[in-house]
Amino acid sequence: MPEPPLRLATRASALALAQSRLVVDGLRAAWPELQVELVTVVTEGDRRRDVPAAALGGKGIFTAAVQQAVLEGRADLAVHSAKDLPAAQVPGLVVAAVPEREDPRDVLLARRRLGGLDDLPAGARVGTGSPRRVALLHWLRPDLEVVPLRGNVDSRVRRVHAGELDAVVLAAAGLRRLGLAGEAVPLDPEAFTPAPGQGCLAVEAREDDTRALGLLGALTHRPSRVALRGERAFLRRLGGSCTLPAGALLRQAGGALEVQGFLSGLDGKGLVRERLRGPTDDPEGLGEALADRLLDAGGPEVRALVEDSRR
């Protein structure tokens, strides 16, 4: 009797579906006879697009319903943008695969081609829904008007083309996966530090599902998984919320790992930066050390935000 199809849970947005198809393609390349079905799920973040993500609590608003589909047996796998995944692992699930990371940088998409943030005129309206990006924009260009923004990638791009905004800041990975990257200008990650896990996909399965775990083993790209482990440890140390104004990027540096990151108050107040190097066999320890160093360097407002995130 043939094996039943592998059911893959995903959000229904164009980007989520594109990401899920990348996972399907990887599975079929490794297992040509494998049948895979997509199971679309509506998350809290999808239902309440009129409410800022931070007001919804941030943790799991784009992932919890997808994870629940796997836990309840309605699906075998869940595919997430790793930056949306809360740092605390859901009991019963494991991150079973991390495919090769796409470009982790943020990009600036404007009505006319620019060289970067410095080319925007004073008072330009720049849209973003991310507290991390809000903080960095205020820190780097306090003369800009930062406009709160929700919605999928397509709707954000349309608001720029319609003249409602002068520019938006988006993840390079999302635009690349949708074939829209040609219009955007990458932002230097040394100054505009990405979100932990940005550019990575995380594929979850039930921890006792030996079939799914066996099939997913072929998808993992080890350097990407190492980077994600360190960056998620950084986020976990700070409370695990993807709405905290913080960023981290871990990379291989010769025979060591190097991680750089920042932590700030809202509107970029009290922003602190650090860079650390460590051994290749302990990415979690390096991520945690970075978080501790930033907490030590941060002021009262920064510490208060982290305490709120930990509650």
Find out whether 104 and 145 touch, Cβ atoms under 8 Å: no
Please report, for the domain that includes residue 155, its CATH number: 3.40.190.10
Note the pLDDT of residue 58: 54
Q: Count the domains in the chain.
A: 3
Q: What is the average per-residue pLDDT within 13-37?
A: 95
Q: Is residue 46 part of a domain?
A: yes
Cα 18 → chain centroid: 15
**Same domain, yes or no, for 260 and 240?**
yes
Find out whether 69 and 75 touch, Cβ atoms under 8 Å: yes
Q: Is residue 226 part of a domain?
A: no
Q: Is residue 120 part of a domain?
A: yes
Q: Which of 85-94, 137-146, 260-269 has the highest mean pLDDT?
A: 137-146
| Domain of residue 117, residue span | 106-186
The DSSP string of 244-308 is: SSEEEEEEEETTEEEEEEEE--GGGTT-EEEEEEE-TT-HHHHHHHHHHHHHHH--HHHHHHHHH
**Same domain, yes or no, for 267 and 290?**
yes
Place of tokens 């040509």: 32
Note the pLDDT of residue 57: 52
Is the per-residue pLDDT at 45 higher than 80? no
Q: How confident is the model at residue 1 (pLDDT cuts 50, 70, 90)?
A: low
Q: Is residue 147 part of a domain?
A: yes
Cα 237 → chain centroid: 17
Q: How far apart are CA 264 and CA 289, in angstroms?
A: 17
First to last CA, the chain: 50
**Same domain, yes or no, for 113 and 172?**
yes
Strands 272-278 and 256-263: antiparallel
Residues 56, 13, 135, 225, CA torsion sign: positive
**Same domain, yes or no, for 53 and 36?**
yes
Q: What is the average per-residue pLDDT within 12-24?
A: 95
3-class SS at 180?
coil
**Same domain, yes or no, for 74 and 216?**
yes
Q: How far apart are CA 219 and CA 270, in angstroms?
A: 40
**Same domain, yes or no, for 128 and 275?**
no
Note the pLDDT of residue 56: 47
User: What residues contact 197, with CB distance under 8 A and at least 6 apart?
Assistant: 81, 82, 83, 85, 228, 231, 232, 235
Helices 153-161 and 14-30: angle between axes, nearest 10 degrees: 130
What's the pTM value of the predicted model, to 2 decimals?
A: 0.91
Q: How far apart are CA 31 and CA 38, in angstroms?
A: 17
Q: Which amino acid is at 306?
A: V
Give pLDDT tens digits for 200-255: 999 999 999 999 999 999 999 999 999 999 999 999 999 877 788 999 999 999 89
3-class SS at 112?
coil
Give pLDDT tens digits for 239-250: 877 788 999 999
Q: Is residue 225 part of a domain?
A: no
Note the pLDDT of residue 61: 77
Residues involved in catalysis: 83-84, 132-133, 150, 156, 242
> Residue 165 is encoded by which pair of tokens?
């905004």
Q: How far apart are CA 285 and CA 230, in angstroms?
A: 7
Q: Which of 175, 171, 191, 194 is nearest to 183 (CA)?
A: 175
| CA 154 to each of CA 124, 168, 227: distance values in angstroms, whole numbers, following the listed order | 21, 12, 28
Give the number of other CB atoms < 10 A from CB of residue 12: 14
Is the per-residue pLDDT at 113 higher than 50? yes
User: Mean of the per-residue pLDDT values for the chain?
Assistant: 91
Q: What is the average per-residue pLDDT within 93-98?
A: 97
Q: How far apart are CA 275 and CA 188, in angstroms?
A: 15
Q: What is the average per-residue pLDDT within 151-158?
A: 89
pLDDT: is 133 or 311 the higher one?
Answer: 133
Q: Is residue 193 part of a domain?
A: no
Q: Is residue 265 part of a domain?
A: yes
- Residue ending a domain, among 162, 186, 210, is 186
Q: How confident is the model at residue 62 (pLDDT cuts 50, 70, 90)?
A: confident
Is the per-residue pLDDT at 194 higher than 80? yes
3-class SS at 69?
helix
Is the per-residue pLDDT at 11 higher than 80? yes
The DSSP string of 113-163 is: --SSGGGSPTT-EEEE--HHHHHHHHHH-TTSEEEE--S-HHHHHHHHHTT
Q: What is the average per-residue pLDDT within 43-57?
A: 57
Q: What percent of the chain has pLDDT over 70?
A: 95
